[in-house]
Structure 1
């Protein structure tokens, strides 16, 4: 959200920072967000105290932690875009409650418990990132980051503040997950955290343990292999003309969708695109805003066109070198089998081009059939700190499409169980 004036944004930020969220519990009976579905905490994290720019977050404690709070893994979720709200992940994909429709009124959005939530055993944080996205406040358009380094700096500030607000999480194992373009946020933030950790005393370091990358846009060049339009996209990529590359890539997808007649490239099985009306309407409700600690007059967008335009030149830039840097921590790549936009083949192409001493051994490692509750759910390929999973029958939005399978996947990877168990590196 773009703030109307810096002073108003700062006033809002300071007032919310001093307001305990659960003063809103009394509203539970009158809100479509009942008390049991409220986040453990949701508020704003200051990015620029002077101007009032701030990031909005919603934090959910684990209802069934496998360890004490200080040792319970904490997942930080980043949405795609650029400019899309993490409330998509929260209420559409992997949060504890998902937006659905009233059985008596299909246009009335309500929420229902999600049996495949990723916070079953872990803490889960959704951050509207970068500023200007979702409920997050950008006091001016000029403050919206234009590159991943600036995005990472903002996120580092936000995470430091969040951990100071949650003392029980200060030493928690930290896992940062990004979907599609959100993978860039995840990768660059991990890169930045590792750099900062090397300069800080151990007591001030973040306990970063791993990065998860889902249906990612890590290295664009190998994937653009169509004829005339695709060749143009490749040429622009090599010349580093990033705004034009993004536009050309969109033309490729438009051509493919028109030529195939598919409803959407995220999932060729679907006969119609996702219906986002309910999802878009839910955070707009005044009762929901109040329950989340957001001012009623704030404007929420599914995806911010302003943020998307500011970061358009960043979309097609490679971050493969940063993934290679992350060999110091665990790296988890997962892909839905049916995604035609950021799918299995294109991501395996850049993986084969990684500069990693164990690459050839990884490529020769067995792809083992992965089962959940006796049913085949895909395959797992693993060597040392690198794990790659292809989720059978899943589309671009893996947690939304295969909820229980994705829940088992993230839990087994973090807890190193089954095919994800730690082996000699």
Structure 2
């Protein structure tokens, strides 16, 4: 009897070991991915906030940089995860969104009051590859299309979850500011169709979605604000038609060059006088044809923060443990040159696809003092979207956004599509209207 008991015990232990071994094997097979390696960075850090900074090495392509702050709110892994993207003509998220707008520390490394990290998990990815601290193996590895960028972003997001698996069930909201909106839309489609991950929402922040169409309303917009002389509107509308004709003909590179000459054109040929408000013309002025500050956003961030925006190389890189051979934003000119071939292509079909074929909600907010993505032009494509819920959206009454007894904007909301007019704000709404955007965030993530 004793012998039999020992045999049974040995069999039971053996079975447990085999089962455990099988479990480890299954875990290894599921999590093993030969397409990337995560390199967690180690430095002295910035302040005392918990964070993860890492490079996702996408084999044969390059290193994608990401910076994650877990929320300080209770039940953090169930709180929304905000993934922030910018684009080829913007300022990389690790600087602009994180230090410039709503991360736990400001650009002077002081603790920020009312940081988004108080309510949300924040993930900043420098994209496309070749911008910010994201570095390609060579110029040839910089993505040529939005879809290639989406694949890189999806791989980077997968690598994030491999490090922080407890956040897999956190509601994911993908934000894209400026041209980053096109990256956000493409990533949402990639995740939905090929990665079996369903984001809760896509948020378009002063998005560059149909730039030639939006530009057609710029003359009207500046005239209504009183910023141009009598001949200014027809001059701008002539330029806008030239850009539109180039886009129609598929001549996207020349269309891009004309589009990004807008600031100089407005100042020199449209009779603009003292129009260099931080909200408007400075956002679209390029100092030289080779300048990386195509829309003046670096200069705007420098003026508002009254700080040196070159801190990414001088301070942040060493604090995070960035490899010494990596220079912040060193490849942006190459990225811009490549994206000239696609920048001006409208992305409205991506929005329509998401609305018609997925459960992902689309939210759009627009600073009313942004000329590049002027609100009248944005409404041209928004009001003409083709999907089954469009009539309900257009019939929904516009509400007033009141914050601290002030009218900060307006909104039109349906479960799938939302639009927010943001007063007294330019392209960087979180920087210009922090209190108002916090209320909008609450509305977007409420469900």
TM-score (normalizing by structure 1): 0.81
Q: Give the SS at the match of 2:116.
A: coil
Structure-to-structure mapping, 1:114-263, within 5 angstroms? 114-197=112-195, 205-225=196-216, 226-258=236-268, 259-261=271-273, 262-263=275-276
Structure-to-structure mapping, 1:315-354, within 5 angstroms? 315-327=343-355, 328=358, 329-354=360-385
- The residue that corresponds to 2:92 in the other structure is 85
Asked if 1:310 corresponds to 2:323, the answer is no
- The residue that corresponds to 1:46 in the other structure is 57
**Would the alpha carbon gap of residues 252 and 269 (structure 1) be closer, same or farther in structure 2, given more than 3 Å must change?**
closer
- Cα distance in 2 for partners of 1:233, 1:255 equals 13
- Cα distance in 2 for partners of 1:145, 1:247 equals 20
- The residue that corresponds to 2:4 in the other structure is none
- Cα distance in 2 for partners of 1:83, 1:18 equals 26
Q: Give the SS at the match of 1:119.
A: helix
Q: Give the SS at the match of 2:123.
A: strand
* 1:309-368 CA distance string (max 9 Å, x none): 111111111110110111121110000111111021111000122111222221121110
How far 1:264 moved relative to its partner? Answer: 5.0
- Cα distance in 2 for partners of 1:302, 1:378 equals 38
Please say if residues 100 and 301 of structure 2, whose CA atoms lie closer than 8 Å, have aligned partners that are also in contact.
no
How far 1:302 moved relative to its partner? Answer: 8.2
Structure number with greater Rg is 2
How far 1:116 moved relative to its partner? Answer: 3.7
How far 1:83 moved relative to its partner? Answer: 6.7
- Cα distance in 1 for partners of 2:413, 2:136 equals 41
Please say if residues 381 and 388 of structure 1, whose CA atoms lie closer than 8 Å, have aligned partners that are also in contact.
yes
- Cα distance in 2 for partners of 1:394, 1:118 equals 18
Q: Give the SS at the match of 2:200.
A: strand
RMSD, matched Cα = 2.4
Please say if residues 131 and 138 of structure 1, whose CA atoms lie closer than 8 Å, have aligned partners that are also in contact.
yes
**Would the alpha carbon gap of residues 352 and 158 (structure 1) be closer, same or farther in structure 2, given more than 3 Å must change?**
same
Please say if residues 282 and 300 of structure 2, whose CA atoms lie closer than 8 Å, have aligned partners that are also in contact.
no
- Cα distance in 2 for partners of 1:307, 1:264 equals 28
**Would the alpha carbon gap of residues 340 and 331 (structure 1) be closer, same or farther in structure 2, given more than 3 Å must change?**
same
- Cα distance in 2 for partners of 1:303, 1:118 equals 30
- Cα distance in 2 for partners of 1:257, 1:151 equals 35
Q: Give the SS at the match of 1:125.
A: strand
- Cα distance in 2 for partners of 1:123, 1:233 equals 40
Q: Which has the higher contact order (CA 8 A, sep 6+)?
A: 1
Please say if residues 82 and 311 of structure 1, whose CA atoms lie closer than 8 Å, have aligned partners that are also in contact.
no
**Would the alpha carbon gap of residues 131 and 120 (structure 1) be closer, same or farther in structure 2, given more than 3 Å must change?**
same
- The residue that corresponds to 2:229 in the other structure is none
Moved more, 219-228 or 316-325: 219-228
* 1:163-186 CA distance string (max 9 Å, x none): 111011122211100001110110
**Would the alpha carbon gap of residues 373 and 228 (structure 1) be closer, same or farther in structure 2, given more than 3 Å must change?**
closer
- Cα distance in 1 for partners of 2:184, 2:323 equals 28
Q: Give the SS at the match of 1:112.
A: coil
- Cα distance in 1 for partners of 2:124, 2:431 equals 15
* Counterpart among 292, 296, 311 of residue 282 in structure 1: 311
**Would the alpha carbon gap of residues 299 and 266 (structure 1) be closer, same or farther in structure 2, given more than 3 Å must change?**
same
- Cα distance in 2 for partners of 1:269, 1:310 equals 24
- The residue that corresponds to 1:62 in the other structure is 71
Please say if residues 90 and 179 of structure 2, whose CA atoms lie closer than 8 Å, have aligned partners that are also in contact.
no
